[in-house]
Homo-oligomer: A and B are copies of this chain.
Amino acid sequence: MDSDDRKLLEATDFFAALGAEAINRLTLSASVQAVPKGAVLFLQGDRPEFVHLVLSGRVSLGAEDAHGHSTIVEIFREGQLFILAAAILSKPYLMTARSLTDSRVLMVPAERFNAMLDTEPHFSRVLVDVLAGHWRLLVRQIKDLKLRSAGERLGVYLLMKIDARSGTAALRLDEDLNVIAARLGMTPESLSRAFGSLRAHGVRSQGRQVTIDDIAKLRAQVRFDELDE
């Protein structure tokens, strides 16, 4: 790990929570891999050999079925650990990890990771919070899939990208529309139509550039509630 990577690592929440000393022990035998856009880090069904942490870039976790349909369950960005569960439980990955951008990924051998889990009290404590947060992410997504329409899911997705609760907003989406569609559980065509349907509610878009005329109105329209914050 060079000093730039070290700096990236030191900027993470995980580093702050765990402390420099424990991080040093954790990363003794870790390596950093530069991953080009589109590369696969591991495949669903693989046995986990490493725990991954995104130092820079973004990584998607997705799945494909036998008939070539694919979806994205979650996207992790710089500073985040992802799919810990497989490594912790020593069970095959349920998802495939793919780099969405040129990225740098810290790879900690699962063996060492699990050893620290067993020997360092504070380490487990930090992971409990991380896992609890990830769990809530997925619960929210399941609620969205089961209770909201495609248009509403897009609206919620946009609203989660901005902080303000009212007024206007302009944002540039940082994923391909392609990727966003997969994340939201719809086809690219449906995403395009979902943008179309939101146009009536003050959402204009050209490509990835989006403006929202009235945030409060959009929140009401897609039934964005306090639990979505």
Contacts and interface: CB of A to CB of B under 8 A. Distances in A.
Given A63-B146, A95-B139, 20 more contacts: A44-B227, A65-B148, A65-B223, A66-B225, A69-B147, A73-B139, A85-B136, A85-B139, A88-B129, A91-B136, A94-B139, A121-B121, A121-B124, A124-B125, A127-B128, A131-B135, A138-B139, A142-B145, A145-B146, A146-B185
B92 A143 contact: no
Interface in A185-214: 185
B88 A128 contact: yes
Contacts of A185: 145-146
B94 A146 contact: no
A121 B131 CA distance: 16
A124 B138 CA distance: 21
Interface of A: 44-45, 63, 65-66, 69, 71, 73, 84-86, 88-89, 91-92, 94-95, 117-118, 121, 124-125, 127-129, 131-136, 138-143, 145-148, 185, 223, 225-227
Given A73-B139, A84-B132, A45 B117 contact: no
B89 A147 contact: no
A45 B94 contact: no
Given A121-B124, A124-B121, A142-B138, A65 B147 contact: yes
A133 B226 contact: no
Given A135-B85, A227-B44, A142 B141 contact: yes
Given A117-B125, A124-B124, A131-B132, A142 B89 contact: no
A147 B63 contact: yes
A71 B146 contact: yes
Contacts of A145: 142, 145-146, 185
